Structures are given as structure tokens and as C-alpha cells.
């Protein structure tokens, strides 16, 4: 993991000079040429791989959504996570984790999941779950199949974008991160919104295809990939990133 920045204190002197970190370049093919990034200054941000979105017994499945497309990201994420950890890249799980009283959710966020105004969506009860995406609930937990480690980083979010009303930005900056690899669900919604804001904040953004998925129609995937590639960063195939990480010096 990237070294967390700390001041050195010794003999009454506080040293604010940080030693230069060793670089760990990784070069990977993208949709438009290759990209070289520094694994020592990179984070892997995985969005919303939660029971309510990805489990057959979760919220989306309970309202008739086929979650098999969302689950397709599990395998690529699991193949990449240990390789990235070995390369010194922190794995950060960014998930919905709302307050039980929902007081920090604006009406537009509540409405998008409850367009009929009947008390459904975020915070509502469904099936065997007491509250959709409530922090600490089964629905907000990561699906069991994921390779999650105790020293991975967890950040709860309360919007489509993971940067609003969360410590995501301060966490990445404290870790000295320049480049963010994005994965998870839904590609065209929370993944894209978080990547969009990351790009606006000045981060170098790389969308990992196949490790990102959505239950939306295919044209949503096409439009999102086009926009990321055209305006906000780069798109890499999960298999190509896996290959780059397994070359000599990165495994």
C-alpha cells in the first residue's frame, strides 16, 4: 500500500520533508494506445459491489431486476485485487451506507429510487432486509464472493458520486494517490459519477472494463465507455491490466 504521509519526529525536531517514494511503473494497453501509470501512486476503487445490488436475494433482485450482469464483475475484480495489492496498490471498497434516518439524503436521491413516492428505495424495508442500503445492514454488505482483506479501505457514500459528503477525496490525497482505477457497479451510474468527479478533481482516471458492469441496457455501457475514453480518462480491458500486472517486476 502507498505509504501514508506522516511527519517524522525525533529529538524535539518535526521533519515535514517527505522522502521521495520509489516509483513502480505499469504500462497497459487501452482503447487508444497504451498508458503508463505509477502503481505506487495508484488506488483501485471498487464501487457498490453490495448485496442489495448484486445478490439474488438483494433489493434489486426483489424488484425484478436481473442482477446477473452486475455479478459478472466479481470474477475480474477478484483476479485483479491480489495482483494490485502485490503491486502496492490499495484496494478501496466504496459503497452505499446510508443513515437510518436518511437526513443527509436530498430529495432527488430518494426520488430516483422511489419515483412513485410510496416509501420504497433507499431506507425502505424489502423481503428479509430491514432497510435498503442502510449502513451495517446485510443489504449494504459486500457480496460474500469478493476477495476482501482486513487491510483494505472501506468508505461509505450517500450519493451516486463517492466524493460528496464522504472522506474519499481526503483518503486518496493522504495516501498520495494520483491515479485511480475504477471498477464495480453500476458502470453508467455510480461508477461513472465517481469517475467524473475524480476527473474534475484532477485525478488520473482509468476505467477497468469487465471489472465494471451494469444492469442497464447495452447502449448505456457504450455511451459511458465513449464518454470516459473521450473526455475523462482511459478505458482498459480487465484482462490487459491483469497481463500488465503479471509481467516481470509487477507480481
Q: Give the pLDDT confidence of 82-91 residue by residue, as tens digits.
A: 999 999 999 9
For residue 186, cis peptide bond before it (omega within 30 degrees of 0) = yes
Other beta carbons within 10 angstroms of residue 169's beta carbon come to: 17
**Grid cell in block for residue 118:** 410510496
Mark whether 101 is an active-site residue: no
State the first-to-last Cα distance of the chain, in angstroms, to the nearest integer: 14
In the chain, where are the structural domains located? 24-99+136-245
Q: Which of 38, 48, 52, 152 is catalytic?
A: 48
Give the CATH number of domain 24-99+136-245; options: 1.10.10.10, 3.40.50.850, 2.60.40.10, 3.40.605.10. 3.40.50.850
Query: What confidence tier does 249 reach under pLDDT thresholds 50, 70, 90?
Result: low
**Grid cell in block for residue 112:** 430516483
Q: Which of 38, 52, 95, 157 is catalytic?
A: 157
Decide if pLDDT at 248 tops 60. no
Instruction: Give the pLDDT mean for 47-61.
Output: 95
pTM: 0.94
Separation between Cα atoms, residue 125 and residue 100, nearest integer Å:
11
Beta-strand relationship, 153-157 and 91-96: parallel
Q: Which of 190, 197, 204, 205 is catalytic?
A: 190
Mark whether 190 is an active-site residue: yes
Query: What confidence tier does 4 reach under pLDDT thresholds 50, 70, 90?
Result: low
Mark whether 48 is an active-site residue: yes
Other beta carbons within 10 angstroms of residue 112's beta carbon come to: 12
Decide if pLDDT at 35 tops 90. yes
Cα dihedral sign, 126-129-131-134: negative
- Single out the residue of 122, 13, 192, 15 nearest to residue 5, CA to CA: 15
Q: What is the DSSP string of 99-116?
A: -TT-TTS-HHHHHHH-TT
Amino acid at each position: 500500500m502507498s505509504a501514508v504521509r506522516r511527519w517524522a519526529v525525533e529529538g524535539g525536531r518535526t521533519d515535514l520533508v517527505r522522502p521521495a517514494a520509489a516509483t513502480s511503473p505499469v504500462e497497459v494497453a487501452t482503447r487508444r494506445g497504451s498508458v503508463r501509470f505509477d502503481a505506487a501512486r495508484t488506488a483501485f476503487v471498487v464501487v457498490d459491489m453490495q448485496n442489495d445490488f448484486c445478490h439474488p436475494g438483494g433489493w434489486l433482485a426483489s424488484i425484478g431486476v436481473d442482477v446477473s450482469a452486475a455479478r459478472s464483475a466479481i470474477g475480474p475484480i477478484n483476479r485483479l485485487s491480489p495482483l494490485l495489492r502485490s503491486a502496492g496498490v490499495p484496494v478501496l471498497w466504496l459503497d452505499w451506507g446510508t443513515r437510518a434516518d436518511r437526513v443527509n439524503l436530498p430529495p432527488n436521491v430518494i426520488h430516483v429510487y422511489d419515483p412513485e413516492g410510496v416509501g420504497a428505495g433507499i431506507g425502505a424495508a424489502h423481503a428479509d432486509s430491514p432497510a435498503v442500503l442502510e449502513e451495517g445492514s446485510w443489504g449494504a454488505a459486500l457480496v460474500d464472493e469478493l476477495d476482501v482483506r482486513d487491510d483494505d479501505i472501506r468508505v461509505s457514500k450517500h450519493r451516486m458520486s463517492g466524493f460528496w459528503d464522504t472522506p474519499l477525496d481526503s483518503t486518496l490525497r493522504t495516501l498520495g494517490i494520483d491515479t485511480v482505477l475504477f471498477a464495480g457497479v453500476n458502470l453508467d451510474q455510480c461508477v461513472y459519477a465517481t469517475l467524473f468527479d475524480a476527473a474534475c478533481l484532477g485525478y488520473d482516471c482509468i476505467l477497468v472494463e469487465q471489472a465494471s458492469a451494469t444492469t442497464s441496457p447495452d447502449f448505456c455501457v457504450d455511451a459511458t465507455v465513449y464518454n470516459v475514453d473521450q473526455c475523462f480518462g482511459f478505458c482498459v480491458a480487465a484482462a490487459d491490466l491483469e497481463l500488465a500486472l503479471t509481467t516481470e517486476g509487477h507480481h
